[in-house]
Amino acid sequence: AKPQLAVVGATGAVGSVLLGILSERADIWGEIRLIASPRSAGRKLTVRGAEVEVVALSEEAFDGIDVAMFDVPDQVSAQWVPVAVSKGAVVIDNAGTFRLDPDVPLVVPEVNAHAARVRPRGIIANPNCTTLSMIVALGALHAEYGLSELIVSSYQAVSGAGRAGVDTLRAQVSAVSGTELGNTPGDVRRAVGDTLGPFPAPIALNVVPWAGSLQEDGWSSEELKIRDESRKILGLPELPVTATCVRVPVITTHSLTVHARFENEVTVAGAHEILAAAPGVVLTDDPAAGEYPTPADVVGTDPTWVGRVRRSLDDPRALELFVCGDNLRKGAALNTAQVGELVAGELRG
């Protein structure tokens, strides 16, 4: 029999994309049960072309479920993932709650699919969208050259902050459109007023060097996630990683500039060959023709896009790259669906 799937957080920004992805990919699931907060229960959503009624999150909601995909806030995950596991489901969780637990694998199928098989707690964690937006390309380069240091800056889309992030950018863009704003200190801030939403500064006509919550010594949680999660996925617990996370006025698709240093000397031609052959990666690197990935072109697609590949001028072991990935697809829902397919394959034997 086909495994039974539950999607928890079905009405959220990632949940909606997940339902679309489950409708597009091979139909390997029996029932797909949609679960959300009691507030959303009773709503009808379309999955695989049929309307399905959302049920409220409860212990009984997991009856008969083999695999549960969670996309909910950390505290909801902490409370409900163990309930789903106790009811016999394998959980794939997109919250931060379990990502660094040594008994919970953190899986990106193109990089460490093997890790999904060992899950002492019955949980597999899905990485943060910013890590996921670059790690498939880096995993491919690491396999060939051996990664020894990573320095990245992110250019993160507002949908990483959920529906509230998107609503905030859209409202601010309409407040500033067709105006002369952007030439005087504070003019954008005055125009958007108190509609900052989840961001600490205006996001329209602006760039905000912050994502996540404040951690020790001025680092943001998002920056530490990139470090911790990259180390775990690549199996390099000591890898030096420095990240600076920046929010930009893009709806969906995170971008990153990457300085990656390797054990061995690199060439652009060699890197091109590796990236062009890597599953899940698309190389678009012809600056003479104006060809490089941008969020406007990448949004809605599945792969990790890489361009601007250069060897560092002062270091023959280092590469500079520009990487883009749809933060709601590979950055969240698609990776969850892919991990679910790995588990379903096992359950079917």
Nearest-angstrom CA–CA distance, 62 and 51:
20
What would the DSSP string read from start to end of 190-247? Answer: HHHTT--TTSSS--TT--B---S-B-GGG-BHHHHHHHHHHHHHHT-TT--EEEE--B
R_g (Cα) of the chain, nearest Å? 21
Residues 6 or more apart in contact with residue 335 via CB below 8 angstroms: 107, 108, 109, 126, 127, 132
Nearest-angstrom CA–CA distance, 226 and 242:
8
- Is 39 annotated among the ligand-binding residues? yes
Min dist CB 211 to ligand 2RA, Å, is: 5
47 or 211, CB closer to ligand 2RA? Answer: 211
- Is 99 annotated among the ligand-binding residues? yes
Other beta carbons within 10 angstroms of residue 339's beta carbon come to: 24
Known active-site residue 324:
no
- Is 337 annotated among the ligand-binding residues? no
Q: Does 156 bind ligand 2RA (CB under 6 A)?
A: yes
67-70 and 90-93 strand pairing: parallel
Sites for ligand 2RA among residues 208-227 (CB under 6 A): 211, 222
The two structure tokens encoding residue 229: 């999660």
Q: Does 161 bind ligand 2RA (CB under 6 A)?
A: yes
Q: Are 207 and 248 in contact (CB under 8 A)?
A: yes
Out of 47, 67, 129, 324, the residue judged to bind ligand 2RA by CB under 6 A: 129
Min dist CB 160 to ligand 2RA, Å, is: 2
- Is 327 annotated among the ligand-binding residues? yes
- Is 40 annotated among the ligand-binding residues? yes
Q: Does 160 bind ligand 2RA (CB under 6 A)?
A: yes
Q: Does 128 bind ligand 2RA (CB under 6 A)?
A: yes
Known active-site residue 254:
yes
| Catalytic one of 114, 142, 245, 254 | 254
Task: Count residues near ligand 2RA (CB under 6 A).
Answer: 8
Interface with ligand 2RA (CB under 6 A): 128-130, 156, 160-161, 211, 222
Binding site members for substrate: 156, 247
Catalytically active residues, by annotation: 129, 254
